[in-house]
């Protein structure tokens, strides 16, 4: 049978049907096409839209978290740039001289038992230079301005460890031992 023979058979079948049967058959074919259209095209798109609608609040929350992290990153990045800007190149800053000058300015130089440099530690691209300081027979009112001046140095200096002990002979006096670290760029 060729294509025209099939059409002739469908045409004869259609002619033999009553108008009521034609309406039922046409409605069934139309309903079948609508169901086919729904399950093939509309259904998957609708399901995908429902899934995406459920994801919107989650993605908005993630976006807010990302924006907060971006703000933290930018703040830290600016802080690091500020610290790096303040870092001296090698041999431009002597922590020993700085500590002695600060002790003289704060009038506790006679109370310093020792200022001892320790072995530098390299953390590429920076070098940490630790210095241990011991101050004896000093009051709290005299040591606090000295420690504040060290912490507020124009160079990147920080007090990493601090120990304060009162003296047995006079509880108003104390011995203070602390570790100060300064930082500089390593030469590569």
Q: Which of 165, 96, 161 is nearest to 136 (CA)?
A: 165
CA torsion 63→65→68→70, rounded to 10°?
Answer: -60
Q: Which helix (H) or strand (E) holds 115?
A: strand 112-117
> Is a pLDDT exceeding 80 seen at residue 84?
no
The owner of tokens 């104390």 is: 174
Token representation of residue 4: 């025209």
**The model's pTM:** 0.55
Q: Which of 119, 148, 116 is nearest to 134 (CA)?
A: 116
Q: Which helix (H) or strand (E) holds 165?
A: strand 157-166
> Is a pLDDT exceeding 70 seen at residue 26?
yes
In angstroms, the Cα distances linking 108 to 2, 16, 141 are 115, 120, 11
What is d(CA 174, CA 64) in angstroms, rounded to the nearest whole number? 51
> Is a pLDDT exceeding 90 seen at residue 65?
yes
What is the tens place of the pLDDT at every residue in 112-140?
A: 999 999 988 887 777 888 999 999 999 99
The residue among 175 and 186 whose pLDDT is bigger is 175
pLDDT band, residue 44 (cuts 50/70/90): confident
In angstroms, the Cα distances linking 28 to 18, 20, 21 are 15, 12, 10
Helix and strand element counts for the chain (H, E):
5, 5
Q: How many CB atoms lie within 10 A of CB 24?
A: 12
């Amino acid at each position: 049978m060729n294509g025209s023979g099939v059409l002739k058979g469908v045409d004869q079948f259609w002619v033999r049907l009553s108008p009521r049967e034609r309406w039922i058959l046409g409605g069934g074919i139309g309903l079948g096409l609508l169901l086919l259209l729904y399950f093939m095209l509309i259904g998957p798109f609708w399901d995908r839209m429902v899934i995406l609608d459920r994801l919107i609040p989650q993605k908005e929350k993630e976006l807010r978290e990302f924006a907060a992290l971006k703000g933290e990153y930018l703040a830290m990045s600016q802080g690091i740039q500020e610290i790096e800007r303040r870092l001296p190149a090698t041999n431009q800053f002597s922590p020993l001289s700085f500590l002695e000058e600060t002790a003289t300015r704060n009038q506790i130089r006679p109370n310093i038992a020792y200022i001892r440099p320790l072995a530098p530690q390299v953390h590429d691209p920076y070098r940490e230079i630790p210095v241990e300081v011991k101050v004896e027979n000093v009051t709290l009112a005299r040591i606090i301005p000295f420690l504040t001046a060290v912490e507020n140095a124009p160079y990147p200096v920080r007090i990493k460890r601090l120990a304060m002990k009162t003296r047995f002979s006079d509880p108003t006096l104390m011995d203070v031992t602390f570790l100060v670290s300064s930082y500089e760029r390593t030469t590569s």
